[in-house]
């Protein structure tokens, strides 16, 4: 099994797109194994975007994420190839490059308001899940209808 960290950022929450975003992952067949509403602390936001520390927009991005103008909806989703497929469901970073049919392609116009985050690799998924969630907040459960969603061959 594979897991990824997905977060609806505050712009997505303010725009009322939480259920739309959750619905797209849910309908695809992925399993929600953790979810919480949170205003991240500065250390968590800085660590989350650590790879962007040298970029000119870094401070503004961290200020924005920690502003408390709305919470972030942090989630862990599980299922086959969910890291890579999650990125496809989300679409390109820049909304002008995001395909129609993707979340960013359908709902966003600018990179600073692209409403959602998704881990970009196994390493970042592992790091981000551990950063945002305590182990006991991630719950293992079984789909009772799994045989109708995932075949064994
Ligand atoms: P995430 O899933 O959010 O990590 O996006 P990404 O992996 O598609 O892009 P990346 O990790 O490079 O950037 C993380 C976030 O920083 C983006 O989602 C944007 O919100 C923000 N960001 C990236 N590039 C820019 C930029 O040029 N200007 C501004 N204002 N924000 C940016
Ligand atoms: Mg990224």
ipTM associated with this complex: 0.94
Atom of ligand 1 nearest to the CA of 114: 20
Beta-bridge partners for 3 = 78
Atom of ligand 1 nearest to the CA of 92: 8
48 is catalytic: no
pLDDT tens, residue by residue, 50-102:
999 999 999 999 999 999 999 999 999 999 999 999 999 999 999 999 999 99
Residue located nearest, by CA, to atom 9 of ligand 1: 93
Confidence grade of residue 153 (pLDDT, cut at 50, 70, 90): confident
How much of the chain, in percent, has pLDDT values that exceed 70?
Answer: 100
Is 90 exceeded by the pLDDT of residue 31?
A: yes
- Residue 65's CB: how many other CB atoms inside 10 A? 23
What is the value of pTM for the model shown?
A: 0.96
Options 117, 119, 129, 132, the catalytic residue: 117
């Amino acid at each position: 099994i594979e897991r990824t960290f997905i977060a609806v950022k505050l712009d997505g929450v303010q725009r009322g797109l939480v259920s739309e975003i959750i619905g797209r992952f849910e309908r695809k067949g992925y399993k929600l194994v953790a979810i919480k509403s949170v205003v991240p602390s500065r250390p968590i936001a800085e660590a989350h975007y650590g790879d962007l520390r040298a970029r000119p927009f870094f401070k503004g991005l961290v200020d924005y994420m920690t502003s408390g103008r709305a919470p972030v909806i942090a989630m862990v989703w599980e299922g086959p190839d969910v890291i890579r497929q999650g990125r496809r469901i989300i679409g390109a970073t820049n909304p002008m490059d995001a395909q129609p049919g993707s979340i960013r392609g359908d709902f966003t116009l600018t990179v600073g308001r692209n409403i959602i985050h998704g881990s970009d690799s196994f390493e970042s998924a592992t790091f981000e899940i551990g950063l945002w969630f305590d182990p006991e907040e991630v719950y293992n459960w079984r789909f009772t209808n799994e045989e109708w969603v995932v075949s064994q061959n």
